[in-house]
Amino acid sequence: MDSLERVKAALYFNYPDKVPVFNLVGGDVFPIPLTYSKNWKPGWNEGEQGLFPHVRGHYNWDRPEWAKNNPEYEGTNWRKIPHEEIDEWGCIWNLKGNDTDMGHPGRPSLLDWNNYDDYVKKYKPDASDKSRYAFALNLVKGLRETKYLMLLFPTFGPSQVVAAMRGFSTYLVDHWKHPEEIKKVLKLVAEYHVDLMKYAFKYGLKPHGIWLVDDLGEQQGPFFSPRIFKKFYEAPYKLIIDEAHALDLEVHLHCCGKIDALLPALIEWGLDAIELDSPRMSGYKDLRPYRGKIMFWGCINIQSIYPKGTPEEVEREVWHMIRNLGTEKGGFGAYFYPTPRDIHVKRANIKAFERGLKKYGDYSKIPQHWWSTPFIDEWNDSEVPPLPLR
């Protein structure tokens, strides 16, 4: 199979030859990222003095007056000091002054729902701006369609965007105190994602899937009960999923947290694949009921085995992911955490992940009786069980 066929076979449980790989530096998925508008002017609006652009990597910033003629801000010096950043949605981020993380949502930017209309007028990004598609168009120029093309959005999903606007605690309370306002802004963010998809096609991109990033849980469980999740998130999620499917796109959701309780709703709404950086956080046992019903992308658990395990443990964990999240017919893909340095993963463990896929990711080489080996119900996060007997 070529890469496109392999990913499609895994998504639809149609017997891929190998476990597909999503790795930003190689693999079966070719990411085509949308970028920030060239018309975006972070730090220029009233009230934005001291707010730097929230962008990782190189960014040619058109600096406002307050950011000029200050030695601390020259070049990229400002990245090396604690500071606040602003994104295209007007959300504010806290940065520690190092380049080892992407920062964390900071103080709220939408303090009062009475100011909603003015806020949206000021900060809603323009999906029609062709400049945000230029980089992606250049990337795919001349590319043969043997890779699975994944459209990466320049923004987070509905929940994360709105939580950053309002401040996390206030955002949770809003579901009770301001339900209509929450529904309204979630719809707005969802519509923006739909517009990005449509303009991507209009400007000549032809992706096969979209990559939505929306963390919905913490260590012990989701942010919302399944009932609240359905009440508030069915409309925005189904809007994105239905419009994507109408464009013949699959929807892949990255989601951190223990979110297994939300999977029935997401599957019902038509989500095609879920990506978990830490599958053990939800737990293999609790994810098992959804095995065969949705494709899982999984990374070696980034909270335990990937940064702290031995290379031998990382190799073995590859099989346990395939067994617990996938089936003989497919349904599992390997996801390589894109910034392993941020979580202190040794190069030896990255190579071990690759070796594990060579050993256990070829379906023709997996012993048939391995698929009938009893599942393990009790897992210690710092241990990797042995492989089945040959």
| Chain centroid to CA 133 | 19
- What separation, in Å, do the N-terminal and C-terminal C-alpha atoms of the chain show? 27
Domain that holds residue 71: 51-87+90-105
Say what the pLDDT of residue 59 is: 87
Q: Does residue 200 share a domain with residue 76?
A: no
Q: Does residue 323 share a domain with residue 208?
A: yes
Please say whether the beta carbons of 42 and 48 come within 8 A: yes
Q: Does residue 71 share a domain with residue 140?
A: no
Q: Does residue 218 share a domain with residue 71?
A: no
Say what the pLDDT of residue 261 is: 98
User: How large is the angle between the packed helices 179-202 and 116-123, nearest 10 degrees?
Assistant: 20
**Tokens in use for 66?**
């307050």
Give the Cα separation of 70 and 73 in Å (integer). Answer: 5
pLDDT under 70: residue ranges of the chain: 99-100
Q: Does residue 184 share a domain with residue 63?
A: no
24 in a structural domain: yes
Q: What is the CATH number of the domain that holds 167?
A: 3.20.20.210
Q: What is this structure's pTM?
A: 0.97
User: How large is the angle between the packed helices 226-246 and 179-202, nearest 10 degrees?
Assistant: 20
Say what the pLDDT of residue 243 is: 98
CB burial of residue 389 (10 Å; 0-12, 13-18, 19+): exposed
Q: Does residue 67 share a domain with residue 12?
A: no
Number of domain units in the chain: 2
CA angle at 308 for the pair 307 and 313, rounded to the nearest 5°:
100
Say what the pLDDT of residue 198 is: 98
Q: Does residue 346 share a domain with residue 283?
A: yes
Q: Does residue 72 share a domain with residue 180?
A: no
Q: Does residue 236 share a domain with residue 158?
A: yes
